[in-house]
């Protein structure tokens, strides 16, 4: 016995007689097993990853005529023989070698030095003469690629579920944000467009990933750690490594050195890159940056792999002998319904909307939120703030920020979202319609979201997106572009509903519906424009002797009309019958898809008229097209019939909304919006607080 074998302890030569060594790993179908080859010709070296098992087919490396074998190993090494060698009559004999004899090896903890453990197998002939001996030097390392798989904002160690993703409160899986904001205000571009990290603050938009290793100061020669991603994932993600060891060090950084402290590791151009093994017990931090929102061709899941590579002979590729993987899901873009608290109100200032602005400003002041006015140099006369953008947000356990979805509408307001909204912690996303015709239905007055609902037992705690399209049976209808629809459906967390809005000249769902908060029932009411309710109100006025009350009083350039005139106009009545039919169709869909009862719906007295191409526009300011700021509603002033010194339509609105504890402010938008086929809602937009509910808790 050579001196190098002193540290060995004889073990388990007669497993049939003695129990297996105490710490031998239990058979486990899920355990990662790797085939290890021994050689009687040269000493083998092997790197062992704690938690796996090395499997040696003993007979493979046996010299011809071998009949028995024995195993010895250092104290840190555990092994078992499988299948257990058959009992022998002479129990001084070593275990019998069979073609199936296998040694399963494991080690409990990391090695202090490279090759500090050892196992040897001796082969014996018929007469227990030694025919050969195979020696393997073992080094144990602990390796774990870690993420925040339990979604508490902290990167825990080796979460058993880190390699998969599951929805729900009992689910698991880490989360990525699309880095769609811009840390820089001066040279504005989305952070995801740049392959460099320019500011420390940008790291907050990324998800931490930590490589934890434990082992000798250096790996045995030639072994390497490599991070890698698939080609298709590489379009959606980038990985940076941090060279910065501590937070205090990070603070001292000067801008000049910053980029080289966070080198790019993986990107579309580099799918695989070696990462340093630090030695001892070490942590290397990576920052993972999301680049793309889920879409028709991207389910949102990203896998990042860490492999341990074993050197091969010169010129041969290194072999991955252990791979750890983590899975992220890209956070979806989430819309905010009217029931969420307003944060900022956006309107345009134009040459002719002073009156409107004044009304909005007063309302916003009362609500205590912020007013942001887009000035004429930027809006170039395009006042339809609702139509160019939709405000939403993205959320993760570590960070959250608002994200504006820019419509392919691209009116004169088109530069506003990128130029004025995009900024630090304010993201931007758009979908461009390359091969599709963009219609009025692509304006985001045609994109709304319901408050949280439960439908036949299914919960939608983030509500459901609502868009307007043509009937699928229509030969020549207008629709929202497929790119935008695909984007909305792919977010998954606010399962969209398609309504029929093509019956309207402008074609937006916000022309006939909105949601307001309510203290009872489901926490909200659906408000629907209703010509029937309008006619009923006017008939009541007529019967009460107010048939000569006039609409549009006090408006220049607008012919006044009496209640009697309206009720005697058979053409108008027929047009409104048609409109009511269209709204009823949507009402049926909304009831079914949002699980609403009639008591959840309030019909507002609004008349329409039918114009070119047989499509409808509001006959007087369309009160349902309101801005909802908490309990304060900014409603288009309807200029309805004056009865006893008060507008009968306003009175009805105040009565209906008052029952819900809501306060109505009527804003004169007649000339500057209504006459241009829009109203208060079309001309404004609201950024709201995010849901307290976390999207990853959804049971999808």
Residues forming the active site: 387, 508, 510, 682
Residue 138 or 340 having the CB closest to its own copies: 138
* 8-27 footprint of its own copies as x/- string (CB under 8 A): --------------------
Query: Quick check: 235 binds its own copies (CB under 8 A)?
Result: no
Instruction: Give 418 or 585: the residue with its C-beta nearer to its own copies.
Output: 585
Two structure tokens written together for 576? 């409104």
User: Total number of residues binding its own copies (CB under 8 A)?
Assistant: 71
Structure-token pair, residue 128: 């227990």
**89 near its own copies, judged by CB under 8 A:** no
Is 61 a binding residue for its own copies by CB under 8 A? The answer is yes
Is residue 2 within 8 A of residue 135, CB to CB? The reply is no
Is 33 among the residues that bind its own copies (CB under 8 A)?
Answer: yes
Judged by CB under 8 A, does residue 65 bind its own copies?
yes
Out of 5, 341, 344, 532, the only residue in the binding site for its own copies (CB under 8 A) is: 532
Q: What is d(CA 658, CA 640) in angstroms, rounded to the nearest whole number?
A: 19
Terminal Cα-to-Cα distance of the chain (whole angstroms):
64
Q: Decide if residue 516 touches its own copies (CB under 8 A).
A: no
Query: DSSP string covering 206-222, please?
Result: SEEEEEEEEE-SSPSTT
CB distance 585 to 614 below 8 Å: no
Q: Does 307 bind its own copies (CB under 8 A)?
A: yes
- CA-to-CA distance for 679 and 635, rounded, in angstroms? 9
Name residues contacting its own copies, limited to 213-232 (CB under 8 A).
Answer: 226, 228, 230-232
| Distance (Å, whole) CA 104 – CA 33 | 9
Q: According to CB under 8 A, which residues from 417 to 436 bind its own copies?
A: none
Contacts of 142 (CB under 8 A, 6+ apart): 49, 50, 51, 109, 110, 212, 213, 214, 215
- Report, in Å, the least distance between residue 34 CB and its own copies: 6
- Contact range with its own copies by CB under 8 A, out of 29-37, 169-177, 208-216, 649-657: 29-37
Cis before 232? omega within 30: no
29 binds its own copies (CB under 8 A): yes
Residue placing its CB nearer to its own copies in the complex, 3 or 473: 473
**With helix as H, strand as E and coil as C, how does 611-664 read?**
CHHHCEEECCCCCCCCEEECCEEEEECCCCCEECCEEHHHHHHHHHHHCCCCEE
With contact defined as beta carbons under 8 Å apart, do 109 and 140 qualify?
yes
**Is 473 among the residues that bind its own copies (CB under 8 A)?**
yes
Residue from 86, 598, 644, 692 in contact with its own copies (CB under 8 A):
598
Q: For its own copies, which residue of 4, 16, 18, 32 counts as binding (CB under 8 A)?
A: 32
Binding of residue 37 to its own copies (CB under 8 A)? yes
Q: Which is nearer to its own copies, 385 or 533 (CB)?
A: 533
Q: Show the tokens assigned to 107.
A: 């080690």
Q: Which of 168, 368, 540, 554 touches its own copies (CB under 8 A)? A: 540
Give least dist CB 442 to its own copies, A: 16
Interface with its own copies in residues 247-306 (CB under 8 A): 271-272, 296-297, 305
Q: What is the bridge-based pairing of β-strands 550-551 and 561-562?
A: antiparallel
User: What residues from 312 to 371 belong to the interface with its own copies (CB under 8 A)?
Assistant: 312-313, 315-321
- Binding its own copies (rule: CB under 8 A), the pick from 218, 454, 560, 577 is 577
CA dihedral sign, ordered 259, 260, 261, 267: positive
Q: Which is nearer to its own copies, 86 or 472 (CB)?
A: 472
Interaction between residue 580 and its own copies (CB under 8 A) = yes
Minimum distance of its own copies from residue 35's CB (angstroms): 4
- How far apart CA 500 and CA 511 sit, in angstroms, is 12
Nearer to its own copies, 92 or 313 (CB): 313
User: How many of the other CB atoms lie within 10 Å of CB of 102?
Assistant: 17
The residue whose two tokens read 């070696």 is 274
Q: What is the DSSP secondary-structure string of 371-425?
A: EEEEPHHHHTT---HHHHEEEEEEE-SS-EEEEEEEPTT--GGGGHIIIII-BTT
* Distance of closest approach, residue 470 Cβ to its own copies, in angstroms: 8
CB of 564 to its own copies, least distance (A): 14
């Amino acid at each position: 016995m050579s001196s190098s074998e002193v540290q060995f302890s004889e073990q388990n030569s007669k497993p049939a007689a003695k129990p297996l060594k105490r710490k031998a790993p239990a058979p486990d179908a899920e355990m990662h097993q790797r085939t290890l080859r021994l050689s009687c010709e040269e000493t083998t070296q092997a790197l062992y990853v704690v938690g796996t098992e090395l499997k040696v087919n003993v007979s493979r490396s046996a010299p011809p005529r071998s009949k028995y074998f024995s195993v010895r190993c250092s104290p840190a090494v555990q092994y078992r023989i499988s299948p257990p060698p058959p009992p022998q009559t002479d129990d001084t004999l070593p275990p019998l070698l069979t073609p199936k004899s296998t040694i399963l090896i494991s080690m409990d903890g990391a090695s202090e030095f490279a090759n500090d453990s050892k196992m040897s197998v001796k082969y014996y002939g018929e007469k227990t003469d030694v025919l050969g001996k195979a020696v393997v030097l073992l080094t144990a390392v602990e390796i774990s690629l870690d993420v925040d798989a339990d979604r508490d904002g902290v990167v825990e160690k080796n979460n058993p579920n880190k390699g998969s993703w599951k929805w729900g409160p009992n689910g698991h899986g880490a989360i990525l944000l699309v880095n769609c904001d811009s840390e820089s205000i001066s040279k504005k571009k989305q952070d995801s467009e740049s392959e460099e990290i320019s500011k420390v603050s940008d790291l907050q938009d990324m998800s931490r990933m930590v490589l934890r290793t434990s082992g000798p100061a250096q790996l045995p020669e030639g072994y390497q750690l490599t991070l890698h991603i698939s080609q298709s994932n590489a379009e959606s993600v980038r990985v940076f490594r941090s060279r910065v060891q501590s937070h205090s060090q990070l603070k001292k950084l000067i801008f000049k050195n910053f980029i080289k402290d966070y080198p790019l590791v993986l990107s579309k151009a580099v799918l695989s890159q070696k990462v340093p093994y630090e030695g001892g017990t070490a942590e290397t931090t990576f920052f993972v940056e999301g680049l793309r929102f889920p879409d028709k061709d991207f389910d949102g899941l990203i896998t990042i792999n860490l492999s341990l590579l074993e050197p091969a002979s010169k010129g041969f590729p290194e072999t991955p002998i252990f791979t750890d993987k983590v899975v992220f899901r890209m956070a979806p873009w989430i819309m905010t319904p009217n029931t969420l608290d307003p944060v900022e109100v956006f309107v345009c200032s134009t040459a002719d909307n002073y009156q409107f602005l004044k009304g909005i400003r007063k309302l916003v002041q009362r609500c205590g939120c912020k007013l942001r006015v887009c000035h004429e140099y930027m809006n170039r006369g395009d006042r339809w703030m609702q139509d160019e953008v939709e405000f939403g947000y993205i959320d993760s356990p570590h960070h959250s920020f608002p994200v504006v979805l820019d419509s392919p509408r691209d009116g004169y307001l088109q530069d506003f979202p990128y130029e004025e909204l995009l900024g630090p912690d304010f993201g931007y996303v758009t979908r461009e319609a390359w091969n599709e015709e963009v219609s009025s239905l692509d304006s985001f007055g045609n994109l709304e979201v319901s408050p949280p609902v439960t439908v036949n037992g299914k919960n939608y705690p983030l509500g459901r997106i609502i868009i307007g399209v043509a009937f699928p049976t229509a030969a020549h209808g207008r629709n929202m572009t497929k790119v935008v629809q695909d984007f909305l459906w792919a977010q998954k967390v606010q399962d969209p509903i398609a309504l029929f809005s093509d019956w309207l000249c402008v074609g937006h769902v916000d022309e006939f519906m909105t949601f307001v908060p309510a203290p009872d029932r489901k926490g909200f009411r659906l408000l629907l424009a209703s010509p029937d309710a309008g006619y009923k109100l006017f008939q009541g006025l007529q019967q009460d002797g107010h048939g000569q009350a006039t609409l549009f009083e006090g408006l220049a350039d607008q012919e006044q009309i009496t209640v009697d005139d309206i009720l005697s106009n058979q053409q108008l009545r027929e047009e409104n019958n048609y409109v009511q039919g269209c709204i009823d169709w949507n009402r049926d869909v909304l009831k079914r898809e949002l699980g609403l009862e009639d008591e959840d719906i309030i019909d507002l007295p609004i008349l329409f008229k039918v114009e070119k191409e047989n499509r409808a526009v509001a006959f007087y300011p369309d009160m349902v097209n309101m801005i909802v700021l908490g309990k304060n509603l900014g409603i288009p002033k309807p200029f309805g019939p004056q009865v006893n010194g008060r507008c009968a339509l306003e009175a009805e609105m105040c009565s209906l909304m008052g029952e819900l504890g809501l306060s109505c402010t009527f804003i004169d938008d007649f000339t500057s919006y209504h006459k241009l086929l829009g109203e208060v809602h079309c001309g404004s937009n609201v950024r709201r607080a995010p849901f307290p509910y976390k999207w990853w808790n959804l049971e999808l």
